Amino acid sequence: MPVRTQQNSTSPLAGVPFTKGHGTGNDFVLILDPEGRLDLDSRSVAAVCDRHRGIGADGLIRAVRSERIPEGRALLQSAPDAVWFMDYWNGDGTTSEMCGNGVRVFVHFLAVKGFVSLDGGATVSVATRGGVKVVAASADGYSVDMGPWEFIHPDTAVARGTDSLVEIQGLEVARPALSVSMGNPHTVVALASLGELTAAALHTAPAVEPFPPQGTNVELVVPNDPLVEDGVGVVTMRVHERGVGETQSCGTGACAAAVAIRYWAGDSAPSRWAVGVPGGVVGVVFHVGVDGLEHVELSGPAELVAEGVLFPASLQALSS
């Protein structure tokens, strides 16, 4: 049965079939648009993602063939096997470079629809605004080579171990943080206890100084005690996502959290990590890529939970 929403009758999403999916609670509305016929706009995306007057989601993902979108055509020149582009939009209607949980759900969506196959150890290359990501089946669902990580402020990070200060509602003093890029920006704060993690109020965005021009995702992370169990580093995390708010999980954020805690832990830190988020657990593994750089691999589940059609009659687009 179609899901009744409130949408402007001129919305490009009016009458469009959708699928709802999630990866460890990070949820998405998925739209199939192989030929790139939909001209999405931020107000329509925000309306669909609204949890009270729309379907409700942390973001919207459009599946479009790379040749049908300028960003995808540019990537095809160096990665001709990346035939599908993950057009990712945050819940507030802004576009984003990439989403680690989202790319797993995206590939699962394409597999269920019969557009890709991961049988026999096959991989799928996905074009994103954050570059091409290679996805494979794994014991816990899907694994994604997220590419190399890097410090956003490398000189300051290496010299001081931190590069910014973060004020978090619910915590009394500003906390030092480390800025990490996973193709999108992250600011990672280590907290002393699960009590502090619970006390943090993430319904409002933490204040980051200096504030990145394009904004940032903020991860609050508590290392386990002991940090390493059976050769695996263990941490617990909450996240405020840029353009969304607090989410149940953030794949790129889990990678950034592992990067920062591993760096702070020193040379003896392991290469395998289990990152606990409110929606479950994701795995992070560090390895050297064919480019000689240290890459981060993210793994975890992906689920599709519902299908429907966005009603053509009149979903009032939300103002930002």
CA–CA gap between residue 120 and residue 98 (Å, rounded): 27
Q: What is the b/e burial string over 210-249, where b = at least 16 CB atoms within 10 angstroms of the residue's CB? A: eebeebbbbbbbbbbeebbeeebbbbbbbbbbbbbbbbbb
CA–CA gap between residue 117 and residue 148 (Å, rounded): 26
Mind telling me the catalytic residues? Answer: 99, 250
CA–CA gap between residue 249 and residue 237 (Å, rounded): 9
